[in-house]
Amino acid sequence: MPIYRFNCEKCDTSFEKIVKMGTTETTCECGEVAEKDYAGSMLFSSTGLPNGHNSIRSKVRSS
């Protein structure tokens, strides 16, 4: 699941949260709705990948 950055206009806070793809807003700690920061970066949390998956990817690209 991706990690998105959200901004809350009420308390002027920005924070990151793991949410489902396509999520555009979530609730801030202050209770207001925080909107997704489209200019911010999107990160992915990846687990369960085999060791050396980067070397496998580089071999495919060089072929």
Q: In the prediction, which pLDDT does 47 show?
A: 60
- Residue pair 19/26 in contact (Cβ under 8 Å)? The answer is yes
What pTM value is reported for the model?
0.60
Give the Cβ contact number of residue 32 at 10 Å. 14
* Dihedral angle, C-alpha 25, 23, 19, 10, nearest 10 °: -10
d(CA 16, CA 19): 9
Angle at alpha carbon of residue 17, lines to 16 and 18, rounded to 5°:
135
User: For 9-63, what is each residue's pLDDT tens digit?
Assistant: 999 999 999 999 888 999 999 999 999 988 765 555 556 555 555 544 555 454 4
